[in-house]
Structure 1
Amino acid sequence: MLRHLSRFALFLALGLAGLPVVVASQPGEYQIKAAYLINFARYVEWPASRLPLGAVLRLCVLGRDPFGGALLGLDGRQVQGREVRFRPVDSLEQALECHLVFVSGSEERRLGLILRGLAGRGVLSVSDIEGFAEVGGGIGMVTEDDRVRFDINQATLARDGLRASSQLLRLGRQVFGTERTSR
């Protein structure tokens, strides 16, 4: 019961903060994380040269897909006037064609190589691998007290030409690369 109340409180907090959330009955961990991904896409700006107005926003999973079909429900949604298209990818080369890449836990051994390959390419990297944002990923999802939270590496986003909204930065558990380092 406490776990469900924590999730409800999280969705309520996101809703009150102006972040719309995809809600399903009895959402599982990766349904919640899928909702976070779509919201990250809503509250991050890409350079116009990387994601022109009206272009399709490509959301990808690099490695084994832990979402169990939850991301298929996001396919075709509108974010910032752009249609979202989901695509699983198997290689770094394919990931470079994406705008938002969720790096699966199956890729943890190759994480350094992946992050170096994505650096400066205008790709928002997101993962739930422990310490992801601290080691140079864009946004790291963390499960804490049965709640999904997230850390943001502001320096990584800036290096990649991405800009997180102030709303998103305020909701982050920790923001690295700025004066603010914890919440």
Structure 2
Amino acid sequence: MRAPHGIVRRAQWPRPRRLCAVLGAVLAGVACMGATHAQMQASEGQVKAAFIYNFALFTNWPAEVMQADAPMVVCVTAQHPLQAALEKLTGKPVRGHRLEIRHINDGTVAGCHVLVFDTRAQNGVRLDPGTPVLTVSDSPKNERVAGNPEPMIALTLHDDRVVFDIDAVAARQAHLQLSSQLLRLARTVQ
């Protein structure tokens, strides 16, 4: 049986209104994606700082280097882009030690447990490969400027994700023991 005309009616938008609504939804989606991308870019430093914190958690130093009640010292080279993000980690616990961030301007790494530097910039840091300092760069090893130390861990961006490569030989030479969990998470281990 047919319903009387006017009782059952499909709501239809005129074509221009429908087109505007669809375009509005698409533009709102693009705007949200752009905001998410901007937020990801803004937090890259925080993500890298969190990685560095976890590297410290999953590294063992010789007992004579990590004395009881002494702070875990993360040194960062002058003008490094991760300084601000690392400073937010000050005081966090690392295996019974509190984290301390120190800026180095003269290349002296005495008292440092972790050294964060840019392999692409000449920073004046000189480090004996046997010194028990975990060296971390936020740039690929193949972009290293001559005279800079070899990073044991190199952070890089790959497909908008932070990944890292480990030089386990250099870590062993410095008498550092990297956790097997850390080694499994690395993109590559040499």
Q: What TM-score results when the alignment is normalised by the length of structure 2?
A: 0.71
The RMSD of aligned alpha carbons is 2.7
Query: Highest Rg: 1 or 2?
Result: 2
Match of 2:82 among 57, 67, 71: 67
Q: In the alignment, is residue 97 of structure 1 matched against residue 106 of structure 2?
A: no
* Structure 1 segments of 4+ aligned residues over 4 angstroms from their partners: 1-5, 132-135
Aligned partner of 2:121 in structure 1 is 108
Paired amino acid for 2:135: S
Match of 2:183 among 152, 169, 180: 169
- Distance (whole Å) between structure 1 residues aligned to residue 172 and residue 179 of structure 2: 12
Query: Does the residue aligned with 1:117 lie in a helix, a strand or coil?
Result: coil
Taking a change above 3 Å as real, the CA distance of residues 68 and 99 of structure 1, as seen in their structure-2 partners, is closer
- Distance (whole Å) between structure 2 residues aligned to residue 31 and residue 126 of structure 1: 15
How many residues of Structure 1 are paired with residues of Structure 2 in the alignment?
152
- Distance (whole Å) between structure 1 residues aligned to residue 76 and residue 140 of structure 2: 17
Match of 1:122 among 104, 108, 132: 132
Is the 8 Å Cα contact of residues 112 and 133 (structure 2) preserved in structure 1? yes
Q: Which runs of 5+ in 1 are unaligned?
A: 6-24, 177-183
Identity, in percent, stands at 33
Taking a change above 3 Å as real, the CA distance of residues 34 and 119 of structure 1, as seen in their structure-2 partners, is same
Paired amino acid for 1:98: C
Alignment deviations for residues 129-176 of structure 1 (CA, whole Å, 9 cap, x no partner): 222699832100010000000000001000101010000000000001
Q: Which runs of 5+ in 2 are unaligned?
A: 1-32
